[in-house]
């Protein structure tokens, strides 16, 4: 309704006498002022409504069901599609009750039998149609809001369920991985205690060695799990310091090579491109590169070579670690960055399956990306791209 409280009506009626009569009735109405725009064809009505979307607003449409350019109910969907929120009252001839009721079923708010119309009936029907349409519209929006809420809640529940499942899987993998070294310790300690006199010094030494290895294994597992926990709770912060990347990498290579001297693997380090001092988180870098180089060594045959390339790019640095080791089956490649995932070809090579999960989290924390390219039997190349954060 307009600000002045008048009701704006679009009358679509080809019979001029009927149209005049209706307009006359509306003039006589006491309760409200009705302003009427009259057209004779459906297409003119549609044109008027489209124009109306830009200018004023119609409150109701009075629609004759026998028009020259549209027969019967086919006018209804045309109008409803054009402006779905305007109520429609259809005008029918006597004995057309069936058609009238079908019109209401298809979206009209009310119907009037032309010869029976009088002022009161017409005014009542118009008011009723407007009110009914308003209630329907508000129900429709409420419904939409509710549907939206239900969708959101369902998505939340699915997410919560996934997280829950992930957590219980994590706990069961972790307990399994802790039980293994604990069993080793229990067994070796038992052997040492029960056979103290009978064991040779070498045997004793080997049992103690097993205990130490198992403890080291557990300690590493706990360190890795606590890192993943930190990352998951958003506590993996990026503490940036100014770093000479090349010197840092060379030192890291020396450390790793020293720790795996018995495998006699040569790490060939190369740097290329522009490498200016920039801001890096030393601990994140250590986790990323340390894990990738250790993996390259661990999954390569003794005596082979691992290439480590540092490539300065315009706004980023690429770290590429390439080995000629066992490679990774294609099917396993996508899951490797999830905790506890190990490829099917690891055989008896020990590991927790947490290293790459940590690498991925650290790369994310540094705003970078990681790619893997690998072929079983030929080797693997891991590439990490980290954006350059200038001083």
Work out whether strand 66-67 and strand 88-92 pair parallel, antiparallel, or are unpaired: unpaired
Beta-strand relationship, 110-113 and 305-312: unpaired
Is 45 among the residues that bind ligand ADP (CB under 6 A)?
Answer: no
231 binds ligand ADP, rule: CB under 6 A: no
Total residues at interface with ligand ADP (CB under 6 A): 21
Q: Which of ligand ADP, Mg ion, none does residue 343 bind to, with CB < 5 to 8 Å depending on kind?
A: ligand ADP
* 87 forms part of the interface with Mg ion (CB under 5 A): no
* Residue 368: contacted member of Mg ion, ligand ADP, none (CB under 5 to 8 Å, by partner type): none
Nearer to Mg ion among residue 220 and residue 244 (C-beta): 220
- The site that binds Mg ion (CB under 5 A) totals a number of residues, namely 2
Q: Choose the binding region for Mg ion from 116-124, 213-221, 259-267, 347-355 (rule: CB under 5 A).
A: 347-355
Residue 354 binds to ligand ADP (criterion: CB under 6 A): yes
- Tell me if 343 contacts ligand ADP by CB under 6 A: yes
Residue 223 CB, nearest approach to Mg ion (Å): 13
296 binds ligand ADP per the rule CB under 6 A: yes
Of these partners, ligand ADP, Mg ion, none, which one is at the site of residue 10 (CB under 5 to 8 Å by kind)? none
295 scored as a contact of Mg ion (CB under 5 A): yes
Smaller CB separation from Mg ion, 92 or 295: 295
Binding residue (CB under 6 A) for ligand ADP from 91, 291, 319, 385 = 291
User: β-pairing, 379-387 with 369-375?
Assistant: antiparallel
Binding to ligand ADP by residue 181, rule CB under 6 A?
no
Of residues 355, 360, 384, 385, which one binds ligand ADP by CB under 6 A?
355
- The verdict on 91 binding ligand ADP (CB under 6 A) reads no
Dihedral (CA of 172, 173, 174, 178) sign: positive
Q: Which stretch binds Mg ion (CB under 5 A): 89-97, 149-157, 288-296, 373-381?
A: 288-296
**Among residues 181, 327, 339, 355, which is the contact residue for Mg ion, using CB under 5 A?**
355
Q: How far apart are CA 370 and CA 289, in angstroms?
A: 12
Binding track, positions 250-289, relative to ligand ADP; x by CB under 6 A: ----------------------------------------
Q: Which stretch binds ligand ADP (CB under 6 A): 141-149, 174-182, 273-281, 355-363?
A: 355-363
Q: Does 336 bind ligand ADP (CB under 6 A)?
A: yes
CA angle in degrees (0–180, nearest 5) for 54-55-59: 105
Q: How far is the CB of 300 from Mg ion (least distance, A)?
A: 13
* Of residues 204 and 342, the one with the C-beta less far from ligand ADP: 342
Q: What distance in Å separates the CA atoms of residue 365 and residue 287, rounded to the nearest whole number?
A: 12
Beta strands in the chain (DSSP E): 7-12, 34-39, 60-64, 66-67, 70-71, 88-92, 110-113, 241-243, 266-273, 278-280, 305-312, 316-323, 369-375, 379-387
Q: Which residue has the tokens 């490679």?
A: 327
Chain centre to alpha carbon of residue 380 = 30
322 binds, among Mg ion, ligand ADP, none (CB under 5 to 8 A by kind): none
- 325 lies in the binding site for ligand ADP (CB under 6 A): yes
Q: Which stretch binds ligand ADP (CB under 6 A): 100-108, 158-166, 240-248, 341-349?
A: 341-349
Give the CA diameter of the chain.
124
Q: In what order do the strands lie in the sheet with 110-113?
A: 34-39, 7-12, 60-64, 88-92, 110-113
How far separated are the first and last CA of the chain, in Å rounded?
Answer: 63
Q: Shortest approach of ligand ADP to residue 352 CB, angstroms?
A: 4
Give CA 35 to chain center in angstroms: 52
CA distance 94 to 77: 23
Give me the phi and psi of 336, to 5 degrees please.
Answer: -60, -25
Q: Which of 70, 69, 114 is nearest to 90 (CA)?
A: 114
Instruction: Copy the structure tokens of residue 1.
Output: 């309704």
Quote the CA–CA distance of 84 and 291 in Å, as a whole number.
62
In Å, how far are 263, 271, 294, 363 from 218, measured between CA atoms? 23, 36, 18, 25
Of 122 and 328, the one with the shorter C-beta distance to ligand ADP is 328
Catalog residues that contact ligand ADP under the rule CB under 6 A: 291, 295-296, 299, 323, 325-328, 336, 342-343, 346, 351-357, 380
């Amino acid at each position: 309704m307009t600000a002045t409280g008048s009701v704006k009506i679009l009358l679509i009626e080809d019979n001029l006498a009927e149209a005049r009569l209706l307009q006359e009735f509306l003039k006589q109405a006491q309760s409200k002022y009705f302003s009427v725009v009259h057209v004779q064809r459906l297409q003119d009505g549609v044109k008027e409504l489209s124009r109306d979307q830009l200018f004023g607003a119609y409150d109701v449409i009075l629609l004759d069901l026998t028009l020259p350019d549209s027969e019967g109910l086919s006018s209804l969907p045309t109008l409803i599609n054009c402006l779905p929120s305007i109520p429609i009252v259809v005008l029918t001839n006597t004995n057309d009750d069936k058609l009238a009721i079908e019109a209401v079923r298809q979206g009209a708010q009310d119907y009037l039998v032309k010869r029976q119309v009088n002022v009161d009936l017409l005014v009542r029907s118009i008011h009723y149609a407007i009110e009914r349409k308003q209630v329907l519209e508000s129900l429709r929006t409420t419904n939409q809001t509710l549907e939206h809420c239900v969708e959101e809640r369902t998505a939340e529940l699915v997410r919560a369920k996934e997280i829950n499942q992930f957590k219980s899987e994590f706990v069961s993998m972790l307990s399994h991985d802790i039980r293994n070294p604990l069993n080793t310790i229990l067994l070796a300690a038992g052997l040492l205690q029960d056979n103290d006199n009978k064991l040779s010094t070498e045997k004793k030494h080997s049992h103690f060695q097993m205990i130490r290895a198992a403890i080291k294994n557990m300690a590493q597992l706990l360190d890795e799990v606590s890192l993943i926990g930190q990352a998951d709770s958003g506590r993996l912060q990026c503490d940036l310091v100014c770093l000479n990347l090349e010197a840092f990498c060379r030192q890291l290579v020396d450390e790793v090579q020293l720790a795996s001297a018995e495998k006699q693997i040569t790490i060939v380090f190369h740097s290329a491109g522009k490498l200016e001092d920039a801001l890096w988180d030393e601990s994140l870098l250590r986790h990323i590169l340390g894990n990738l180089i250790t993996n390259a060594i661990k999954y390569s045959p003794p005596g082979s070579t691992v290439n480590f390339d540092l490539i300065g790019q315009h706004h980023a640095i690429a770290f590429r670690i390439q080995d000629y080791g066992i490679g990774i089956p294609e099917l396993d490649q996508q899951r490797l960055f999830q905790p506890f995932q190990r490829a099917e070809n690891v055989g008896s090579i020990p590991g927790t399956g947490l290293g790459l999960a940590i690498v991925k989290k650290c790369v994310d924390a540094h705003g970078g990306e990681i790619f893997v390219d690998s072929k079983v039997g030929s080797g693997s190349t891991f590439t990490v791209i980290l954006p350059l954060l200038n001083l």
